[in-house]
Structure 1
Amino acid sequence: MSPHRHRGSRSTVRRFKISNDILLTILEFLDPPSLWRVCKAFTRAYSLMMEYQSLRYKYELAISGMKDGPVTKVPPISRLHLLLTYRKDWLQLGWTHEHRLQIPLPAQVSASVGFIHHVQKHGAYSTIELSELPSSRKNRPPTLTRHLKFTTSIVDRVAVDLGQALIVTGSIFRYHNQIGIQLHFRDLWSFNKHPYARALSYEFSSQVSTSAAVVRMAILVCGSKMAVSLEFAGGRIKHLILNWLNLDARWLDDQDVQFLDETYLLGVATRSGSAVVNLYNVSKVPSITVVREFELPEIWANTTMKFVPNSSPKSDLSQSSDALFYAAPETRVLALTSTPVVISRSEYYPMNWLFLKESYFRFPSRRDGFRVSWRQWGQYCLIKEIHVPSKLVCGPYVVGTKVFYVENSPRSHGHSRLHVIDFSPFPESTASSEGWASAGPRAGLVPNENGRSIPSSSVDGLAVKDITATEDNIVLFLEAHQGYQSVNVLTFGVPMGGSSRRHR
Structure 2
Amino acid sequence: MSLFSLSRELLLIILEELDPISLLHFCKSSRYIHIIVVNYSTLLYRYELALSGMKDGISSSYSPRARLDPLLHHRKGWLTLNWTSEDRLCITTPTIVGVSGRFLYHASESSYHGIFQWSLHIYELRSYRTPPVAKLQYCKFNLPFEIRKVAIDAVQNLLVLAELHFASQDGPITASLHFLDMWTCQQHPQAQNLRFQFQTDWWGTLPPGHRISIERVQIYGIMVGLSVRLGVEEGEGTTELVLVNWHTGIDQRQRFTGDLLSFDILSESCLMVLSHPDEDEDNDSGESAASTWERGPDGLYLHERGKRSPQITIHHIVDGRRLCSAQVISYDLPESWKAISFLQICPNTSLKPNVTPPAGTFFHSDPSQRATVILVEFPSHSIPARCSKKVALVMKESLFQPPSLGDRSLSWEEWQDHCTVIHLPDDSHAFEVVGRKLVFFQSVGEENFVADSRSRLHVLDLNDHAAECLRSIAPRSSTWSWNEKWATASKIFKAGAAEFIRTSTTQVQSITWVDATEDAVILYNERDGQTVIRVLTFGTPQHAPNVP
Structures share a fold, TM > 0.5? yes
TM value normalised by structure 2: 0.79
The corresponding residue for 1:239 is: 241
Deviations 1:265-292 (A, max 9, x none): 1111122222111111123554442511
Deviates more, 1:314-323 or 1:259-268: 314-323
The corresponding residue for 1:307 is: 345
CA contact (8 A) 2:83 2:536 kept: yes
1:219 to 202, 217, 220: 217
Aligned AA (2:200): S
Q: 2:398, 2:4 → 1: CA distance?
A: 40
Q: 1:178, 1:359 → 2: CA distance?
A: 39
CA contact (8 A) 2:464 2:500 kept: no
Change (3 A) 1:259 1:15: closer
Q: 1:174, 1:401 → 2: CA distance?
A: 40
Root mean square deviation of aligned Cα:
2.6
Q: 1:267, 1:236 → 2: CA distance?
A: 14
2:30 to 42, 46, 52: 42
Change (3 A) 1:106 1:313: closer
The corresponding residue for 1:468 is: 515
Change (3 A) 1:221 1:454: farther
CA contact (8 A) 1:243 1:285 kept: yes
CA contact (8 A) 1:472 1:491 kept: yes
TM value normalised by structure 1: 0.86
Q: 1:125, 1:203 → 2: CA distance?
A: 21
CA contact (8 A) 1:132 1:147 kept: yes
Aligned residues: 465
Question: Percent identical across equivalent pairs?
Answer: 27
Deviations 1:476-495 (A, max 9, x none): 111x2232111111111112
Match runs of 1:179-328 below 5 Å: 179-209=173-203, 211=206, 212-234=210-232, 235-249=237-251, 250-254=254-258, 255-271=261-277, 272=279, 273-274=307-308, 275-283=310-318, 285-289=321-325, 290-303=327-340, 304-328=342-366
CA contact (8 A) 1:110 1:117 kept: yes
Change (3 A) 1:16 1:435: closer
DSSP-derived class of the 2:329 partner = strand
Task: Report the Cα offset of residue 363 of structure 1.
Answer: 7.0
Aligned AA (2:422): K
Match runs of 1:445-456 below 5 Å: 445-455=498-508
Match runs of 1:38-437 below 5 Å: 38-122=26-110, 125-140=117-132, 144-154=135-145, 155-175=147-167, 176-209=170-203, 211=206, 212-234=210-232, 235-249=237-251, 250-254=254-258, 255-271=261-277, 272=279, 273-274=307-308, 275-283=310-318, 285-289=321-325, 290-303=327-340, 304-341=342-379, 350-362=389-401, 370-389=408-427, 393-412=428-447, 413-427=452-466, 429=468, 433-434=492-493, 436=495
Change (3 A) 1:126 1:140: farther
Change (3 A) 1:22 1:94: same
DSSP-derived class of the 1:495 partner = coil
Task: Report the Cα offset of residue 35 of structure 1.
Answer: 0.6
Q: 2:393, 2:438 → 1: CA distance?
A: 11
Task: Report the Cα offset of residue 466 of structure 1.
Answer: 1.1
Aligned AA (1:262): E
CA contact (8 A) 2:467 2:500 kept: no
Gapped runs of 5+ residues in structure 1?
1-12, 499-504
CA contact (8 A) 2:432 2:438 kept: yes
Aligned AA (2:185): F
DSSP-derived class of the 1:260 partner = strand
DSSP-derived class of the 2:330 partner = strand
The corresponding residue for 2:531 is: 485
Gapped runs of 5+ residues in structure 2?
280-306, 472-477, 479-490
CA contact (8 A) 2:195 2:249 kept: no
Q: 1:124, 1:286 → 2: CA distance?
A: 40
Deviations 1:242-297 (A, max 9, x none): 11122232421141111111111111112222211111112355444251111001
